[in-house]
Structure formats: structure tokens, C-alpha cells
Amino acid sequence: MTKPALTLLLAAPRGFCAGVDRAIKIVEMALEKWGAPVYVRHEIVHNKFVVDGLRDKGAVFVEELTECPDDRPVIFSAHGVPKSVPAEAESRQMIYVDATCPLVSKVHIEAERHNENGLQIVMIGHKGHPETIGTMGQLPANRVLLVETVNDVQALDVADPDRLAFVTQTTLSVDDTKDIVAALQTRFPNIVGPHKEDICYATTNRQHAVKAIAPKCDALLVVGAPNSSNSKRLVEVAANNGCAYAQLVQRATDIDWRALDGIKTIGLTAGASAPDVLINEVITAFADRFDLTVEQVETAQENVEFKVPRVLREPA
């Protein structure tokens, strides 16, 4: 039986970013250095396949430090943690390694600097997301106000409209955030923004790549986890840029083949915490069903690499 022809437009960049790569490496190096078990507060990155693989090697994932024993190392996830978490670890004399992405740490430092300058902070982010919790947790509660939408800007109750600064979660939609920033600047003309864009290079690059292929696709799949902010934003970007059917899948077994019946062109990308093995698995699943032509569409090249903490590079 002849397979139907299908063109697969493969977005590049896609998949792992430098911060995710570093965080996974930190857990692996900690297991090599101290042996199992090593505790990890929150999922090290938002991907079940990655977390399950590290769990098989001896990592124990917990939500709070209270679930960790004092005598085993603990790692803080790539999303960052409130200041109270390392403070508690130090008070318990625990060995801990902070795997916070350096680009998230940059936002933490910005927020602290603005606070020291007497500015109240507006954070653009998603309520309940670990990165937002971590960033807001760098400062006293009344010093940071959270906005998620343009409408939230209108409802803000600030201490002094002339003494404000804003920071953003690093994994937001570039377009949505632009609208929220514009609303903030309209309502508070003196609000201070970051010296350099808070949304990280990897989030921006992946969204630009999706914008390039979305109008050419009958459907587009994003490989990523349902709790991954940057992956969900890629689905939204595809839908907002001319793709009629955009879906998030964790792996090939999640693909709804009936929804793809009759398509001629499929787009494929992956969130920043999705490994290559899952992307390749999806490509193989399409090759099994279609006479497949794969075309990579590259909109940027990435060569960023972040060093792991010194404690892991020193002998045990």
C-alpha cells in the first residue's frame, strides 16, 4: 500500500536550551559525586521523560525541603526558588546545589537591584508557576505585584506610580508580553524596564522559528510537557500565526492521528525541556505512516553554554 506524501517542517532551534542542559547535568554530576539518593526540590525541568530518567538513576523528586533528610544533597530546580529555601537549607547545614538557570538568576538580581533603589516591582508572569514563585520570593511580599494580562495592569494598586519597575518570567510569549509592557508604560510612564529583555534567548528563538513555519503548515505539533510554560506558548504562537491545528504532545504515543487525516504539511518543534530522543520518536512515527520529506527551517543558531557550579567540579 502506498503511503500518502507528507512534508515535515522541522523548526530550528528546538528542544533543549543551555539552562535545561546545565540543570540535568547538575543532577547527573551530583549523583556521580555523592551517590544516590540525591534529592531534587521540584521537577528539575518540566519534562516527564527527563525526570523519570533521572529518578531511575537515583534522584528523588520532592516538592518541599521538609521532605528531604539533612544528610543528603539537595538540588534546586532550573526554575529558581524563593530566598527562604536556601536559607532553610543552610540553617539545617545541608549540602545544596542551585540549578537555577543563569538567565532566571539575572531576573532575580534585577528585581533585588530595583528594590534596593526603592522601586516597587511589577512581575509579568503566570501565577503559581515555580519561576514566578521563585522570582517573587526574592523580595518581601508587598514589594512585588503580579500581572498576567493587560486587564491586570488596569487593576494594579501601586504604592507610588512614579516608583515602579517591571521584570518578566523568562518563558512567556514575546507578543503577549509586549502588549502587557505597553499597557504598563501607558499607565505608568516612568516605569523602569530591564536593561536587556528578560524573556530568554531560547524562548524567543523557538517562538520565532514557529512563526516562520506556522503559516505553511496544515498542522503543527509541539513536543513538550503540559506544565511547561515555554512549550504551551509555542502552541499559542503557532495558532496565532496561521496554523489551523496546533497541539502539545508529550511523545509520539500522544499524537491524534485522526485529527491529522488528509494533511500535506506538518510542522514540528519542541519546548526547551524536551530531549532529542522524543523529537526523533515523533519523526519516526510520521515516517512509519507517510512517505515523509523532512525539511529543517532554521531561523537562528545557538551556541550558548552555562558552566555547572564549582562544587560539582571539585573532587569529593
Residue whose grid cell is 523602569: 192
- Grid coordinates of 225: 510537557
Helices (H), strands (E): how many in the chain? 11, 12
262 and 202 in contact (C-beta within 8 Å)? no
Report the SS3 class of residue 23.
helix
- Grid coordinates of 247: 497541539
100 and 123 in contact (C-beta within 8 Å)? no
- The neighbouring-strand residues paired with 75 are 40, 97
Active site residue 131: yes
Please work out, in degrees rounded to the nearest 5, the angle formed at the alpha carbon of residue 278 by the alpha carbons of 273 and 284.
Answer: 155
Length of the chain: 316
- CA–centroid distance for 309 within its chain: 20
Rg of the chain on CA atoms, in Å = 21
d(CA 84, CA 88): 6
d(CA 197, CA 100): 18
Local structure of residue 8 (DSSP, 8 states): E
- Grid coordinates of 295: 525539511
Nearest to 165 by CA among 103, 107, 104: 107
* Active-site residue, selected from the candidate residues 32, 64, 116, 131: 131
Please work out, in degrees rounded to the nearest 5, the angle formed at the alpha carbon of residue 120 by the alpha carbons of 115 and 122.
Answer: 115
Given the DSSP bridges, would you call strands 96-98 and 291-298 parallel, antiparallel or unpaired?
Answer: unpaired
Backbone angles phi, psi at 176, to 5 degrees: -60, -40
Residues with a known catalytic role: 131
